[in-house]
Amino acid sequence: MLDVIRGFVRLTWPRRCAACGEPCADAWFCGTCGPLVAPRDGPRCTLCDAGLPSVGPAHRCGRCLSRPPTFERAWGLFDYAGPVGDAVRRGKYGREVACLRAVARVAAAVVPAALLDTPPDRVVPVPLHPRRLAQRGFSPPLVVAHAVARTLRVPLARRALRRVVDTPEQAGLGDKERRRNVRRAFRAHGVEGVDVLVVDDVLTTGATATAVADALLRAGAARVRVLAAACVDRTP
Ligand SMILES: [Zn+2]
Ligand SMILES: [Zn+2]
């Protein structure tokens, strides 16, 4: 019954800004937040997309130089701050799927040219463990993956990856703990010879991206690239 009422309220009330919650006629973000929704810019690592203080000859961050990732390339499109950060948090922790859809829309609109030029064979969302999915009611990476797959005109393979270990929440953990947490958390199947784009909602240290890439490559994927709607600023 509650869902019916909620659905009715959503239908009859005007749309609200995904970031601040103010009513806004027919946009995903209001007139104040909208202009602040801008993709990341500035020098970045050409492998993991971490911000760099300046563009060096290698264009790679220290972490990638000492331990190159197993994925070919990762992109984090917006800073996990400002309106996009607010919208992701409202979506994930306030369970407002419409906020995540707004983020997915703006992310899909700024998909990197490299992906449009050489699209993957499949878009694969980072899976939630079934227990976490039941708690949250929806999968934030899947919401973003839907929009990205539509833009790239590439099929979504939502069951190619499974999360077999219910890892603790990564927020608040250090780099090493995150890696240890997710190392064996994923299993992939049906990706032999497939060029995969993994999609997540937020990219932080790349620990999840690495674990997912490892699982896909173990299962025979030909190529793994990673795209996240938002990125925690990791400028060293
Ligand atoms: Zn707003
Ligand atoms: Zn890097």
CA–CA distance, 112 with 116 (Å, rounded to integer): 7
CA–CA distance, 44 with 235 (Å, rounded to integer): 9
Burial 16-33 (b: 16+ CB within 10 A, else e): bbbbebeebeeebbbeeb
Q: What percent of the chain has pLDDT over 70?
A: 87
* Residue 91: count of CB within 10 angstroms of its CB: 25
List pLDDT tens digits, range 175-212.
Answer: 677 777 777 889 999 999 999 999 999 998 788 899 99
138 or 184, which is more confident:
138
Q: Which ligand is nearest to the CA of 35?
A: 1
For 49, residues 6+ apart whose C-beta sits below 8 A from its C-beta are: 73, 74, 75, 76, 203, 231
Q: How far is the CA of 121 from the centre of ligand 1 (A)?
A: 36
* 213, pLDDT greater than 90: yes
Q: In the CATH hierarchy, which fold is given to the domain comprising 72-236?
A: Rossmann fold (3.40.50)
Q: How far is the CA of 206 from the centre of ligand 2 (A)?
A: 9
Cβ atoms 148, 114 nearer than 8 A: no
Q: How far is the CA of 85 from the centre of ligand 1 (A)?
A: 12
Helix (H, G, I), strand (E, B) or coil at 44: strand
Domain boundaries, the chain: 72-236
Picking from 42, 31, 136, 39, the residue whose alpha carbon sits closest to that of residue 89 is 136
Q: How far is the CA of 138 from the centre of ligand 2 (A)?
A: 30
Q: Which ligand is nearest to the CA of 59?
A: 2
Q: Output DSSP code: residue 228.
A: E
Q: Which ligand is nearest to the CA of 33?
A: 1
pLDDT, residue 13, reads 56
Q: In what order do the strands lie in the sheet with 223-231?
A: 73-79, 223-231, 195-203, 122-125
List pLDDT tens digits, range 25-82.
Answer: 778 999 999 999 999 988 999 999 998 887 666 688 888 989 899 999 999 999 999 9
Our CA angle for 142, 64, 115, nearest 5°, is 40
Q: How far is the CA of 134 from the centre of ligand 2 (A)?
A: 34
Which tokens in the block code for residue 98? Answer: 């419409």
Picking from 205, 214, 53, 186, the residue whose alpha carbon sits closest to that of residue 128 is 186
Q: Which ligand is nearest to the CA of 24?
A: 1
Residues with CB under 5 A from ligand 1 (ion): 17, 19-20, 30, 33
The single-letter code of the amino acid at 143 is V
Q: How far is the CA of 229 from the centre of ligand 2 (A)?
A: 17
Q: Which ligand is nearest to the CA of 52?
A: 2
pLDDT band at 227 (very low <50, low <70, confident <90, very high): very high
Q: Which ligand is nearest to the CA of 61?
A: 2
Q: How far is the CA of 195 from the centre of ligand 2 (A)?
A: 21
Q: Which ligand is nearest to the CA of 45?
A: 2
List pLDDT tens digits, range 96-126.
Answer: 999 999 999 999 999 999 999 999 999 999 9
Q: Which ligand is nearest to the CA of 64?
A: 2
Q: How far is the CA of 16 from the centre of ligand 1 (A)?
A: 8
pLDDT, residue 236, reads 52
Cβ atoms 99, 88 nearer than 8 A: yes
